[in-house]
Structure 1
Amino acid sequence: MAELIAKSPCDRLLPVTLGGMSLTEEQPGSMWVLAPFKGQDKALSKALEAAHGMAFPAANRATGKAGSRAVWFGRDMALLMGVEPDTKLAKHAALTDQSDAWAVVRLDGAGAEDVLARLVPVDLRPQVFKRGHTARTELKHMMASVTRIGPQAFQVMVFRSMAKTLVHDLKTAMEAVTARG
């Protein structure tokens, strides 16, 4: 019988370092979509805060911190990353395990905004897109989640099946920004 070997979405594709910028794969661990039942938004937020120390995020925002974060993931949805959801949350929301569904990368360094500006139709300047801001948006030709996680750092997520394309597109943009400087 064949023995299967688990591989990360960006296996052998990362890390990439160019012009003071780095692109690395993140291993967020557990990833669960939380979708509140009708009329349960506030109750879910309170339960999430009690269980995991973070509120349900408002539209285009993330709560929590590295290692344990809730990211707005669309209308009436958030992605809980880094922790298994407390069973009490199921009273207020549908919980869907997405742990193997996403490729998660971190783009960091001076020029990261310029790299993403070539790929996403979102104003990522720090005075507009601050730490904890997030957007579900198109990244070149695929749908992505982009979250500012630091002054010059972004978390970018796409479907696992698009990992190679994501790395290619970000690397190409990194090369272009580096060549310009």
Structure 2
Amino acid sequence: MIELKAKTACEGLLPKRVGDMRIEEAEAGQITSIALLEGQAAAVDEALMVTHKLSFPKPNRSTGRAGERLIWSGRGQAFLMGAALAADLSGLAAMTDQSDAWAVVRLEGEQGADVLARLVPVDLRPQNFKRGHTVRTLLGHMTVSITRVGDSSFQIMAFRSMAKTLVHELITAMESLGARG
């Protein structure tokens, strides 16, 4: 009989260090997609504040902290990451468990924005993209979500099926940048 073993999206691919830059798989915990139903934004925001002490994020923003964060993911949509949804949003929002759908990595290092500048068409320098800012964009040919989670750290999410490509692209950019120094 075949015995199946659960694997993380980036198992065997990470961690990787190049100079002072490091990329590792992030422990995302549970990921729940929350899509607001029409006219229910205020009610959802209130329910999330009561149960999670988090407000529904504005476009291109995230709220919360490591361990429990709401990340904007599109018009009227956000991901609750790191905790099970405790709020009863029945009739207010459509909720979907997305925990196994995403590869989530963390890029750390002073040159993180420079690494990403080689891969994405968005200015992620700290003066333009501050802690708590998030963006849905293309990294090469993949749709990703990038959130600045620290002064020199980014959380990057791609579809699980693209994990190997995501890691390859990031490591190649890190090595290219590292070769210059």
What is the TM-score normalised by the length of structure 1?
A: 0.98
**CA shift for structure 1 position 92:** 1.5
- Secondary structure of the equivalent of 1:122? coil
Q: Which residue in the other structure is 2:40 paired with? A: 40
Partners of 1:90 and 1:17 lie apart in 2 by 44
Alignment of 1:161-180 (within 5 A): 161-180=161-180
- Secondary structure of the equivalent of 1:90? coil
Q: 1:178 is aligned with what amino acid?
A: G
Partners of 1:44 and 1:180 lie apart in 2 by 48
Q: Deviations over 1:24-76 (max 9, x none)?
A: 00121100000111100011011011110100000000001000000000111
**CA shift for structure 1 position 86:** 1.5
Alignment of 1:79-158 (within 5 A): 79-158=79-158
Q: Which residue in the other structure is 1:50 paired with? A: 50
Q: Deviations over 1:113-158 (max 9, x none)?
A: 1000000111111111000000000001110000000000000000
Q: Which residue in the other structure is 2:71 paired with? A: 71
Partners of 2:97 and 2:90 lie apart in 1 by 12
- Secondary structure of the equivalent of 1:43? helix
- Secondary structure of the equivalent of 2:63? strand
Partners of 1:27 and 1:161 lie apart in 2 by 17
Partners of 1:150 and 1:29 lie apart in 2 by 19
Q: Which residue in the other structure is 1:11 paired with? A: 11
**CA shift for structure 1 position 87:** 4.4
Question: Number of residues paired by the alignment?
Answer: 181
- Secondary structure of the equivalent of 1:35? strand
Question: For the aligned residues, what is the CA RMSD?
Answer: 0.8
- Secondary structure of the equivalent of 1:116? helix
Task: Answer yes or no: is the 8 Å Cα contact 2:51–2:87 preserved in 1.
Answer: no
**CA shift for structure 1 position 110:** 1.4
Give the fraction of aligned pairs with identical amino acids, expressed as a percent. 56
Task: Answer yes or no: is the 8 Å Cα contact 2:105–2:156 preserved in 1.
Answer: yes
Structure 2 unaligned blocks of 5 or more? none
